[in-house]
Amino acid sequence: MSAKIEVVFKELLTCLQSAKMYGLVHPMFQNSLKKAYAAFEDVLSDRQEVVLGIVGDELAYDKEIFFDLGKFLRPAILYLKERNIQRLAFYRGLSKEELGKFVGVISGPKEDFKAGPQQLLALAGVENISIGKLKVADRQDMGVLEFNQLNLYDFSMNKVAQVVSSVLNLEKIDPQALKLSLNNIIDSLSTQRQELLNLATVKRYDVEVYVHMLNVAIFSTYFSSRLGFQKNDVLDIGIAALFHDIGKLYISRKTLRKPNQLTEEEFSRIKSHTVLGAEFMFKYIDSLGILPVVVSFEHHLKYDSSGYPRMPWLRKQHIASAIVAICDVYDALSQRRGYKQDYSPDVVYNIMNRDKGSYFDPELLDNFFKFMGLWPIGAVVGLNDASIALVREQNESDIRRPKIEIVSPQDRKRLVDLTQDVTLSIERYLNPWKEGKEYLRLG
């Protein structure tokens, strides 16, 4: 079915384009109208209606989101959104004339749509098409939940907690809804990268495995999209990252957070979270694919295969596991946890680089810090001239020299690109819960 819907939408948009280019009487338009109508006839032959939705920047039909299609159709989707059209319903009985009138109406200027798009259609005498906003019922059908961008982290957190507990209870989950939340994260990463990466670091005080899993999912989606993976692959990696430690939720909290040396037995219980997790995710192969199984199983295997679970034969990590492994350790080291001191970013960088080539794929690790920078966005840092600054933007050419905003002292307040001004450099990191706290408010 989804292939047919793709054809419908593509033909419809070709039709709209030719209406705009040639006008409604031109043979080019008539020709594309004929094709679009044939596509509609085909899908309406065995159903009463076809409802298409625009969700965020994507096109949705039923519970399916056409990510790849959305990418190519972005201008068209924007065009419809500008005309307040989020929902397009086509009913059986639709005639070619109606479709032609509909295209004529939506090819008009966006100012015409202020009164509401449906009225325009009614005026044109189109009965078998309705357009307008998404209804609550559609949103539920499409697995869409509305949320404020600023609450994105909390929203995702809830979603994650829900899905994770469903998996633990072996209940059915909605993979499309999950993909959509992750997709929202990725979209926000492109526009609100700073804020979101900030959130991932701000929430560090929390000790829940859930938070860790979501952080790792956020880092992994960001990292893999920067590495150039296709959106669908990025989502798959993100989902696998989300579940990488699900086996841990099965292991007693006491063991996981024990401050002292673990006994041999306790340690092997912790190690078993990989196998346990893989067993869990195996039950979701139909909906989530094989990657969550692979990543749960392999994320502690290490680049040189010297980690766990131990294998009687040599097994090389899948690239998704190698990506998640880096994000996993990065988050674990950066998090402020009761059983371990809070490391500053330069210490995290040094620790991880010590294991370059053994624990971590060297090339991937270099790329990771190239994208993330050594000092994360939002970090409070002390400079060599004793002023205090917040990290604003990374410079990929030099991970130690990001763009910063000096916030103290007052008279030195300004934005500085450290690759331009080489007299200044970052000397130390101020813990955002202690000495760095007061400066965060200044930013």
Contact region with Fe ion (CB under 5 A), list: 88-96, 111-119, 217-225, 321-329? 321-329
Per CB under 5 A, contacts with Fe ion among 174-213 are: none
CA dist 283 → 17, 44, 168, 191, 278 (Å): 46, 36, 11, 35, 9
Least CB distance to Fe ion at residue 266 (A) = 15
Q: Which is nearer to Fe ion, 242 or 416 (CB)?
A: 242
Q: Which is nearer to Fe ion, 328 or 361 (CB)?
A: 328
Q: Which is nearer to Fe ion, 13 or 326 (CB)?
A: 326
Contact region with Fe ion (CB under 5 A), list: 86-94, 129-137, 322-330, 394-402? 322-330
Q: What is the bridge-based pairing of β-strands 64-65 and 388-393? A: unpaired
Ramachandran area for residue 377 (φ above 0: left; ψ -120 to 50: alpha; else beta): beta
Q: Which is nearer to Fe ion, 337 or 370 (CB)?
A: 337
Contact region with Fe ion (CB under 5 A), list: 22-30, 283-291, 328-336, 360-368? 328-336
Contact region with Fe ion (CB under 5 A), list: 199-207, 326-334, 345-353, 403-411? 326-334
Q: Which is nearer to Fe ion, 39 or 241 (CB)?
A: 241
* Euclidean distance between CA atoms 103 and 109, whole angstroms: 12
Least CB distance to Fe ion at residue 351 (A) = 16
Q: Which is nearer to Fe ion, 138 or 328 (CB)?
A: 328
* CB proximity list for 310: less than 8 A, separation 6 or greater: none
Q: Which is nearer to Fe ion, 121 or 325 (CB)?
A: 325
Q: Which is nearer to Fe ion, 292 or 382 (CB)?
A: 292
Does residue 328 bind Fe ion (CB under 5 A)? yes
Q: Which is nearer to Fe ion, 245 or 298 (CB)?
A: 245
309: tokens are 């679970």
Least CB distance to Fe ion at residue 277 (A) = 8
Least CB distance to Fe ion at residue 152 (A) = 22
Residues binding Fe ion: number (CB under 5 A): 2
Least CB distance to Fe ion at residue 270 (A) = 9
Contact region with Fe ion (CB under 5 A), list: 199-207, 325-333, 376-384, 408-416? 325-333
323: tokens are 């990506």
Binding mask 404-443 for Fe ion (x = CB under 5 A): ----------------------------------------
Per CB under 5 A, contacts with Fe ion among 239-268 are: 245
Least CB distance to Fe ion at residue 432 (A) = 22
Least CB distance to Fe ion at residue 298 (A) = 10
Does residue 58 bind Fe ion (CB under 5 A)? no
Does residue 298 bind Fe ion (CB under 5 A)? no
* Residue ranges in contact with Fe ion by CB under 5 A: 245, 328
